[in-house]
Amino acid sequence: MSIVMTGGGTGGHLVIIKAVKEELADKELVYIGSTGGQDQEWFSEDDEFANRYFLETRGVVNQGVTGKLKSLFMLFKAIKEAMRLLDKHKAKAVFSVGGFSAAPAAIAAKIKGIPLVIHEQNAAIGSLNKLLKPFAAAFISSYLPESPIHAYPVKQQFFDNARVRKEVKTVIFLGGSQGAKAINKLALEIAPELHRRGIKIIHQAGEKNIDEVRGKYREAGIEAEVFGFTTKIASLMNEADLAVARAGASTLWELSATGLPALFIPYPYAAGDHQYYNARFFAKQNLSWVMREEEIDIGKVIALLDTDLESKSRGLIDAVEKEGSQRIANLLKKIANDV
């Protein structure tokens, strides 16, 4: 008997699978994902899963008529295969994080009458999760009051690093490992003012942009810690007093767990504009700021350096609940045992 985990396509989905999986070490786990996206990159060699399967699927949205028909045919075949796999491994529960990779196993679970637990990472619910929400045994979202669990699966090290910020000594710019042109541009524009104030600059410029961004800082005579990908993001966030970042769910909750106030500049092309709605979740509580790319105002950004950080920092620490991964794992165990 097993718990099946499914979903992905992007790291934002898969990081949830990884976090919850680590709390289910005593269970037989099976992963069903897709040959598309990042699923195989993350889990093809992961021996913590007893079995791993990658079905041939792709997204249905943003396709022409012919493309949609082909995607639906692939989905139909994958659902049949997922049903076979659920029977083979005597699945007691299916945990889905959404994304096109999740469709075959999640739909198969409902056809087979196996409890489906869904985790939605974003404030704007994804298409598949919205479709399956009424049929879920539990629908988990940190943004919905009715969710059985509000704690987001954030690693404990971010909570361990939490501290109250009172003044800006270090600013961190986070554009993700691929970088964000708008954030890179903003960072370089306000760097002279940060330098004048003696504020340290930490800048995740993206792997492809490191040399260019480092060169521009060098030309301006400004020291900055510039990087692309890093495994030390928790310690870098801990060092910072103010962040300028995209609003992907993992980044948003990690910043908040460590008590780091942030100006969020959402990625404008995110599906369903979900990064904007993620950012609004804390902005509406007066715990962060949000500017769309076309609304960036250098003067307003610089003014944040003199704002009241302490109330926002304390508010974030109080607002973010701990042990999200453990609570989700415990819910899965309970549902699997109740079957």
Taking only the tens place, the pLDDT of each residue in 102-152 is 999 999 999 999 999 999 999 999 989 999 999 999 999 999 999 999 999
- Whether 144 and 214 map to the same domain: the answer is no
- Whether 121 and 189 map to the same domain: the answer is no
Number of domains in the chain: 2
Quick one: average pLDDT of 215-242? 95
- Whether 150 and 160 map to the same domain: the answer is no
DSSP string, 207-260: GGGHHHHHHHHHHHT---EEESS-S-HHHHHHH-SEEEE---HHHHHHHHHTT-
- Report yes or no: 31 and 43 within 8 Å, Cβ to Cβ: yes
- Whether 329 and 280 map to the same domain: the answer is no
- Whether 161 and 308 map to the same domain: the answer is yes
- Whether 145 and 167 map to the same domain: the answer is no
CATH number, domain at 252?
Answer: 3.40.50.2000
- Whether 167 and 149 map to the same domain: the answer is no
Decide which of 141 and 67 is more confident: 141
Quick one: average pLDDT of 1-28? 90
- Whether 161 and 127 map to the same domain: the answer is no
- Whether 253 and 113 map to the same domain: the answer is no
- Whether 213 and 281 map to the same domain: the answer is yes
- Whether 209 and 249 map to the same domain: the answer is yes
The answer, as to whether pTM is greater than 0.85, is: yes
- Whether 173 and 114 map to the same domain: the answer is no
Domain containing residue 256: 156-319
Percent of the chain with pLDDT over 70: 96
Taking only the tens place, the pLDDT of each residue in 31-60 is 999 998 888 999 999 999 999 999 987 666
